[in-house]
A and B are shown apart, each in its own frame.
Chain A
Amino acid sequence: MTQRRRFIAVIDDDESVRESVPDLLREFGYEAGGFSSAEEFLASDKLRQAECLVLDIAMPGMSGLDLQRELSRRQLQIPIVFITAHGDGAVRLRLHERGAVDCLLKPFSDTALMEALQGVLRSK
């Protein structure tokens, strides 16, 4: 029996990330799709399918933190792996306070991504 592959949404305004990370996730056996903004993801039919988010913190419009807040408001418990190009420790600290499992600093290795991903999926 074939196990249904888990869908992971990659949300980042940077095209490089949006293209490369889903490809890598698919290599690891996940179903993955890229979204250029939080608004696009909220409007898509993948909102209910996504089992995990790889989410950029700083984006035009709704930021990653805004989306996290919106999902909570909608009572959607989707595990999130935050990614950011800023090495600002204050933001990461704030994320922890909000319960995020981890925040990856760009650039990150495939191993770090997989570990973070598996970590959040396990805790689900």
Chain B
Amino acid sequence: MLTADGPTDPRIAEEIERRVAERTAELSAISEDLRRQLSVRHRDNENPHLREILLKSFIDGIGAPVTLCAPTGEMVAVNRFGQEYHRKSVEEIMDWTSGEMIFAADLPRVKAAWQRSIETGEPYDVEVRARRAHGPYRWMRLHGFPVRDSDGSILRWCVLHLDIHDSKSAEEALAASERNLKLTINTMPAMAWTADTSGNVEFFNDNFLDYVGLPLDRMLDDSWKQAVHPDDVDDLLETWKVVMAAGRTGETEARLRRFDGTYRWFLMRVSPLRDESGKVVRWYGINTDVDAWRQTERQRQQAEDSLRASELMLRSMLDSIAAPIGFFNSDGELEAVNHLVGDYFGKSFEEVSQWENIVHPDDLVASQAAWQRAIEAGAAYEHEARIRRADGEYRWNDHRGYPMRDAEGRIVRWCVLQIDIHDRKQAEARLAASERNLDQIISGIPGLAWTALPDGHADFLNQHYLDYVGLSLEQARGVGWMLALHPDDREHLIADWRAMMSERRGGESEARIRRCDGEYRCFLFRASPVLDDAGNVVRWFGVNTDIEDLKRAEAAMRASELNLRQLTETIPQMLWSATADGSIDYCNKRLLEFTGFTPEEAMGTGWAKMLHPDDVEPTVRAWLHCIATGDPYRVEVRTLRASDQTYRWLLTSALPLRDADGRILKWHGACADMHDWKQAQDELRDAQAELAHMTRVMTMGHLTASIAHELNQPLAGIITNASTCLRMLAADPPNVTGARETARRTIRDGNRAADVIARLRSLFSKKDPVIEAVDVNTATQEVIALTLTELKKANVSLRVQLAEALPSVEGDRVQLQQVIMNLILNAMQAMDGIADRSKELVVATERDGCDAVRVVVQDAGVGFEAAIAEKLFHPFYTTKRHGMGIGLSVSRSIVENHQGRLWAERNDGPGATFIVSIPSGDAGDGAEVNA
């Protein structure tokens, strides 16, 4: 830190000191060297002349201007460098005091100094401005020292000229800068100070000292702390410590006592000065008087607090209103909004201030115009416009603005309330559209539509109505529409209408209306009231529908029905009908006469009493099945005939009547007396059975050899075993074990023979058919066993191919076996006399589709012509010499009685194939029953 006399910037001071020291050292070194060398010369040569020459030659070798002077001060020599430097001759240089070589102002000082050195023999050192040739003056430093002889007498003065102009200029510039800096620091409108790295204050500027009224020396011994307000000292020192520790700029505020004892607030800011390595070398501080600002700030703070409180209150009031609210100044510019505005628009206050940001482009001009009018008139503002909500949707809003006035009635502010009426608007639009639509519908109704007031007077008739009756709306209004009523219908229509009005209920009536061409047609009047919440009629709506055609159709239908009823009553058939759930609702006269039941007795489920007790259960089951499934109903059932109290077979059938959707509406049925036909059928069946039996018995003749063989085999075993047994028992000792074994075999063979006989008996006996499940494979194998011997005898090669897992068939086993046997024997006979090929017979069983089983008998015999394929099955048709021609006929009857088929096919090669197909037992059940 510099004193107040010197440069305040320590860097400058240090630089100057450094340079002066360098120069001084440099000069001292040169002087000492000269002196030493001159002394050496002097010792070496005491000759004055020689010494002079040596001295001159010596100075010529020095790289700086050097002059030699006599002990009295006159210049005697100038070295070569000096001549070149000054660009002057030796003479001109020697005459330095008279010319312009030395700056005139410096000459007296130089002369005085030189004179003093001459007189005292002390070295001579002076700075002077000299010029080279006629150039500008430059600062030179003249350093003269005496050259003495051995006894100390001065022989010569040696003067060294050093050009110090550049360094001198720098010094002056530094000094000027120093002065300027000092001036700046002391005149700056702040209190400045510096401190060393330990925090000790080194300098206070004049402003600082003037403010506190203390001298610098007192301030520097830490008395400055006494100028700080006692309440602020600790904080200030603590902040100062923290800032120093951090090595960064810092600031704090504290009160400083002025010279007059008053404290004022100062902002104290301090920054570090760093060297090239970044190390802090000094701290600079500035204290700025902020007292006035703090006063103002305090007042502002109070005003702001007050304002904030009132704003808060106002805002809470605004925010409590559940609608966006905006406040505008008297010029109509937006000042404030409640939070709902932000929520609604999703925009900042500034964005909301711009109308075009939020108002629908189509509504913008009108909105702004309305607002402008309100501003100008000072009247309340109400305007509806579409506003863009945060989600981008434009929604209808109602804006209501009210002017807020001061005590003098001047408008100070506008408060504008925004209400979203979008939903209401849309509902109104829908209602309007709906009303328009209703009008269109009423007008478009292809009937006569009308409305009436609660008192019954018509107030609207649609165009169809008016066109139809040929009246104008004015004519038809009120009770004018009655002009078009048929006179005979007015009374009852008015009565019906009054009844509806008095009871406030909808209703209908029929009346004829005269068309514009004069024709009366029947209409159905239908009216409905519209009631308010109190149940009062607000309006009547009515539609009159032309039912003339319907009426005529009804009449025609009635006539048709009558006709139909007459038909059903007179037809020679027993007819009946039932509801969809199966309850009888009609029986014609003929049916009632047959059964002797009254209509009441036959209705519902009473009909079951007509039936034979044994037939009731299957018939009711079949009827319920048909009602549930809609299948056609067909039963043969014994029904009581009243006339002779006998049960007769009736074929009763019924079909469902369905609507367009397929739902059953009714059942229509008929009963036919089939008793006589049924009896004939039974007789026919008996005859057929007899015939079948006959054919079986006839077949027996063909099987005698087989039968004998089948019986002789076990008989042979029986007799042989019995003989053996006897012999074993007669032995001594008796062979009881062997006898027991042979007796067992005897029994076994006896049973075997009994089985054969039982099979034969069942096959050839005459008995009623027994319907049972028949395994076709087993039945076929039994027949084959019976015919095997015949086949062997006829040299027929038999191939049996029985399919596995065949379903059983429902039928009479004996009859079916008879068919198979007949086909096998036929095949065998067809191959009789065949010698040119193998007599191959194939008997196979197989499935026929999914609901039947086939037995196939294929021979390699003579075959048949295609033309006689069907004739083969005709009774008494035969191709055999001794045949009767009934075998295939009977076989087909048997098969058909089993709902099967029997037919013949020609083989690709020789022979024929006969095929029997019988429905399998697991085929679907039909509703048909044969009771």
Contact = CB atoms under 8 A, between A and B. Distances in A.
B740 interface: no
B713 A17 contact: yes
Contacts of B713: 14, 16-17, 85, 106
Given A19-B745, A88-B705, A110 B712 contact: no
A108 B718 CA distance: 10
Contact of B793 (A88, A108, A110): A88
Most buried by A among B712, B721, B738, B789: B712
Contacts of A113: 720
B708 A110 contact: no
B719 A86 contact: no
B709 interface: yes
Given A16-B717, A20-B717, A24-B723, A86 B789 contact: yes
B792 interface: yes
A105 B719 CA distance: 12
B728 interface: yes
A17 B717 contact: yes
Contacts of A87: 705, 708
A49 B558 CA distance: 108
A23 interface: yes
Contacts of B705: 86-88
B709 A86 contact: yes
A56 to B, nearest CB: 10
B731 to A, nearest CB: 8
A110 to B, nearest CB: 4
Contacts of B738: 23
Nearest to A91: B793
Interface in B722-758: 723-724, 727-728, 731, 738, 742, 745, 748-749, 752
B175 interface: no
A113 B721 CA distance: 13
A21 B722 CA distance: 11
Contacts of B113: none
A16 to B, nearest CB: 3
Interface residues of A, number: 23
Interface string A24-44: 100110000000000000000
Interface string B523-562: 0000000000000000000000000000000000000000
A19 B789 CA distance: 22
Contacts of B749: 16
B719 A107 contact: yes
A88 B727 CA distance: 31
A105 B712 contact: yes
Contacts of B719: 107-109
Contacts, number: 84
B792 A58 contact: yes
Interface in B132-170: none
A87 to B, nearest CB: 6
B716 interface: yes
A16 B714 contact: yes
Interface string B773-812: 0000000000000000100110000000000000000000
Contact of A110 (B727, B745, B789): B727
A20 B728 CA distance: 13
A74 to B, nearest CB: 25
B715 interface: yes
A76 B717 CA distance: 29
Contacts of B728: 27
Nearest to B709: A85
Most buried by B among A20, A21, A105: A20
B793 A19 contact: no
Interface in A74-109: 83, 85-88, 105-109
Given A16-B716, A107-B720, A109-B719, A85 B727 contact: no
A72 to B, nearest CB: 22
Contact of A27 (B716, B724, B745, B748): B724
A17 B792 contact: no
B614 to A, nearest CB: 50
B724 A107 contact: no
Contacts of B721: 16, 19-20, 23
Given A23-B738, A87-B708, A110 B720 contact: yes
Given A110-B723, A110-B727, A23 B709 contact: no
A109 B721 CA distance: 10
B724 A20 contact: yes
A14 B712 CA distance: 11
Most buried by A among B713, B718, B742: B713
Given A17-B720, A105-B712, 10 more contacts: A16-B716, A16-B717, A16-B721, A20-B717, A20-B720, A23-B720, A23-B742, A24-B727, A88-B705, A107-B719
Interface of B: 705, 708-709, 712-721, 723-724, 727-728, 731, 738, 742, 745, 748-749, 752, 789, 792-793
Interface of A: 14, 16-17, 19-21, 23-24, 27-28, 58, 83, 85-88, 105-110, 113
9 contacts: A16-B718, A20-B716, A23-B721, A28-B727, A85-B716, A86-B705, A86-B789, A106-B712, A113-B720
